[in-house]
């Protein structure tokens, strides 16, 4: 059984005149790292919200089809029941932080779910260690940088021990080095068996770690497969998705009759592939 299943799912926001999601069929298995991308307004955020029931329970609208998360239909289970399964992280961490210090923030979710004190203590310490938050322990969220706030927001989300981390452009307000720190952390969580769904425009930073890229356009899924396969499709440029520069060079070389052995996703990969062809 897939961990997340969208079955012929459509959604229209109240007051909108077109569908935000249009007959989406999507299965995500445990342990996958899925990057969700597509043009602005294509339905990526709506899809994330549908995973933990925020759509349609908080964001109201018209719904058809079903979303089943860990065996639970999101029509029948409320957000509080789904939150321990699907943990969401958003673009603006400050919108997500509710308490005055790091320990309280991480403990807040499990406390609300009635987790035992000793277990909460253990999770707090584990996450402070894992996300490198020790030096922030006594700090107010407003005294932290954007990258630090986002790490705290992630820790608070992970404290619920979710089965899947759903992150909607978690790095778009961060400077490049802080972004890389967060994305490395997400890749590391995935290596420890966490299922990840990440919305991201900057494919040059994430496609090397992902196991799968799902491309959306106008509310529908238009491509779905291995990163190297999906990102080398002409469809990406046709719908306005920016592919990594290394992949662009690969495509341009191919047009000129030079074939590299595989599709590069990073600058270093491109350099190695060029070297291999040259040495032949």
What residues line the site for another protein (CB under 8 A)?
13, 15-17, 38-41, 45, 91-92, 145-147, 169, 172-180, 201, 204, 237, 239-242, 244-246, 248-249, 252-253, 256-258, 266-268, 270-272, 274-275, 277-278
Q: Which C-beta is closer to another protein: that of 62 or that of 73?
A: 62
Q: Which residue matches tokens 């969580």?
A: 189
Distance in angstroms (rounded) separating the CA atoms of residues 122 and 108: 14
Cβ pair 47, 215 in contact under 8 A: no
Structure tokens of 114? 């009635």
Q: Which C-beta is closer to another protein: that of 16 or that of 64?
A: 16
Which is nearest to 232 in space by CA: 192, 259, 194? 259
**CB of 145 vs another protein, minimal distance in Å:** 4
Distance of CA 115 to the CA centre of its chain: 26
**CB of 278 vs another protein, minimal distance in Å:** 6
**CB of 268 vs another protein, minimal distance in Å:** 5
**CB of 261 vs another protein, minimal distance in Å:** 13
What SS3 state is found at 72? strand
**CB of 154 vs another protein, minimal distance in Å:** 16
Cβ pair 49, 59 in contact under 8 A: yes
Distance in angstroms (rounded) separating the CA atoms of residues 214 and 226: 9
Distance of CA 18 to the CA centre of its chain: 25
Cβ pair 117, 198 in contact under 8 A: no
Q: Which C-beta is closer to another protein: that of 2 or that of 146?
A: 146
Q: Which C-beta is closer to another protein: that of 85 or that of 136?
A: 136
Q: Which C-beta is closer to another protein: that of 144 or that of 160?
A: 144
Q: Which C-beta is closer to another protein: that of 118 or that of 142?
A: 142
Cis preceding-peptide flag for 4 (omega within 30 of 0): no
How does strand 195-199 pair with strand 164-168? parallel
**CB of 116 vs another protein, minimal distance in Å:** 36
């Amino acid at each position: 059984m897939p961990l997340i299943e969208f079955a012929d799912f459509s959604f229209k926001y109240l007051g909108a005149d077109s569908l935000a999601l249009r007959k989406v069929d999507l299965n995500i298995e445990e342990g996958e790292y899925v990057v969700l991308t597509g043009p602005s307004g294509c339905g990526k955020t709506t899809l994330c919200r549908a995973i933990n029931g925020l759509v349609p329970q908080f964001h109201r609208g018209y719904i058809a089809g079903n979303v089943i998360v860990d065996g639970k239909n999101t029509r029948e289970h409320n957000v509080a029941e789904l939150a321990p399964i699907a943990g969401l992280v958003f673009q603006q961490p400050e919108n997500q932080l509710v308490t005055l210090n790091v320990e309280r923030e991480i403990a807040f979710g499990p406390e609300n779910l009635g987790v035992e004190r000793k277990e909460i203590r253990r999770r707090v310490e584990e996450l402070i260690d894992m996300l490198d938050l020790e030096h922030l322990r006594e700090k107010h969220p407003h005294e932290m940088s954007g990258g630090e706030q986002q790490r705290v927001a992630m820790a608070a989300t992970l404290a619920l021990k979710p089965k899947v981390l759903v992150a909607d452009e978690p790095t778009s307000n961060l400077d490049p080095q802080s972004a890389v720190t967060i994305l490395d952390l997400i890749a590391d969580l995935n290596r420890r068996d966490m299922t990840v769904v990440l919305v991201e425009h900057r494919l040059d930073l994430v496609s090397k770690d992902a196991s799968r890229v799902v491309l959306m356009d106008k509310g529908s899924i238009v491509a779905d497969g291995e990163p190297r396969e999906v990102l080398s499709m002409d469809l990406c440029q046709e719908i306005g998705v920016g592919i990594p520069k290394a992949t662009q060079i690969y495509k341009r070389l191919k047009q000129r009759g030079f074939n590299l052995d595989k599709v590069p996703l990073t600058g270093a990969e491109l350099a190695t592939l060029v070297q291999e062809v040259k040495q032949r």
